[in-house]
């Protein structure tokens, strides 16, 4: 059974996102190249765990993080599980593999002061790109959507009159997200500027480059990093940190965890609870300031 059949399976039957399917294909392709170069093996269905282990060692020696190595091995393990399911192999060579240890990443969200400075004090460029950049930042911060969801947002997903957008999340799950009033106004300004572009290639998509093409991952990252660097010295200034900031600020203001879960598009509360470590600090302040038993 080919890798192509496996990718079709995870895409059509498992309903995984195109981003996940692409990652699976890239990871399996990397291992195939390693086997060809190292062992002159073209068919990876018959490899042993020791050969996979040597790939893991080579990745670590190349300074690939344990987290990335674990993701690559998870892709490979899923492929062998598929082969086992369809009867192409009897034993999954990764059945007893234990993931490499990873340190828990403590992502520090931006403070309310930093976000206020960004949205009130920074001067965005004049014209189409400036309006687009401001809208991207405000939408990521006020809606908590993922970078991929921002990139894939289409015009048919906008309901500006109703004040909502529809996003397609992981595993192709749709969710409706409310918009703040100011974002709706900014959308209107942006769409007017968008219509004035000389040419539009990817007409279905909301966010475009000045050449009229659908925006891409590195463009979004560059925009976020550029403007956030003007108001913050934090090392990590990525679109995901804005999502993290969105969740943390909602929880700090007393938002219900289940509601935040739905807004973020998480499948379980466990995924949302990683954002609570910051809000606990706020809860401690309220507790100490308010409880009658606290000795001041």
Catalytic residues, which ones?
Answer: 146, 170, 240, 243, 266, 275
Coarse DSSP helix, strand, coil percentages of the chain, rounded to the nearest 5 percent? 60, 5, 35
**Strand locations in 32-188, DSSP E?**
158-159, 164-168, 174-178
> What span, in angstroms and rounded, lies between the C-alpha atoms of 156 and 203?
11
Residue with tokens 């996102």: 17
What is the number of H-type helices and E-type strands within the chain? Answer: 13, 3
Instruction: Give the SS3 label for residue 159.
Output: strand
DSSP 8-class letter at 206: S
Distance of alpha carbon 144 from its chain centroid, rounded? 10
In 3D space, the residue among 115, 146, 130, 131 whose CA is nearest the CA of residue 217 turns out to be 146
Q: In what order do the strands lie in the sheet with 174-178?
A: 158-159, 164-168, 174-178
> What span, in angstroms and rounded, lies between the C-alpha atoms of 215 and 223?
11
Phi-psi category of residue 126: left, alpha or beta, with phi > 0 → left and psi -120 to 50 → alpha: beta
| Whether 145 contacts 136, CB under 8 Å | no
Contact residues for 188 (Cβ-Cβ < 8 A; gap 6+): 160
């Amino acid at each position: 059974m080919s890798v192509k059949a496996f990718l079709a399976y995870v895409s059509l039957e498992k309903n995984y996102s195109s981003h996940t399917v692409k990652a699976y294909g890239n990871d399996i392709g990397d291992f195939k190249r390693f086997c060809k170069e190292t062992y002159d093996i073209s068919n990876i269905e018959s490899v042993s765990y020791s050969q996979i282990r040597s790939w893991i060692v080579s990745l670590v020696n190349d300074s690939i993080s344990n987290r990335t190595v674990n993701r690559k091995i998870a892709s490979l393990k899923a492929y062998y599980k598929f082969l086992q399911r369809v009867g192409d192999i009897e034993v999954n060579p990764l059945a007893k593999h234990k993931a490499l240890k990873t340190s828990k990443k403590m992502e520090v969200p931006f403070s309310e002061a930093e976000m206020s400075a960004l949205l009130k004090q920074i001067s965005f460029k004049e014209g189409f790109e400036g309006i687009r950049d401001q809208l991207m930042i405000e939408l990521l911060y006020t809606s908590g959507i993922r970078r991929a969801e921002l990139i894939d947002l289409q015009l048919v997903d906008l309901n500006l009159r109703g004040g909502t957008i529809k996003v397609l999340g992981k595993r192709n799950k749709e969710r409706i997200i409310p918009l703040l009033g100011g974002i709706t106004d900014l959308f209107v300004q942006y769409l007017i500027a968008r219509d004035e572009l000389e040419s539009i290639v990817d007409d279905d998509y909301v966010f475009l480059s000045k050449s009229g093409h659908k925006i891409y991952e590195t463009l979004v990252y560059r925009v976020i990093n550029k403007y956030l660097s003007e108001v913050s010295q934090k090392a990590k200034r990525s679109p995901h940190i804005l999502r993290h900031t969105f969740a943390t600020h909602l929880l700090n203001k007393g938002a219900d965890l289940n509601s935040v879960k739905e807004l973020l598009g998480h499948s379980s509360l466990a995924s949302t609870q990683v954002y609570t470590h910051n809000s606990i600090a706020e809860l401690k302040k309220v507790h100490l300031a308010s409880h009658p038993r606290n000795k001041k």
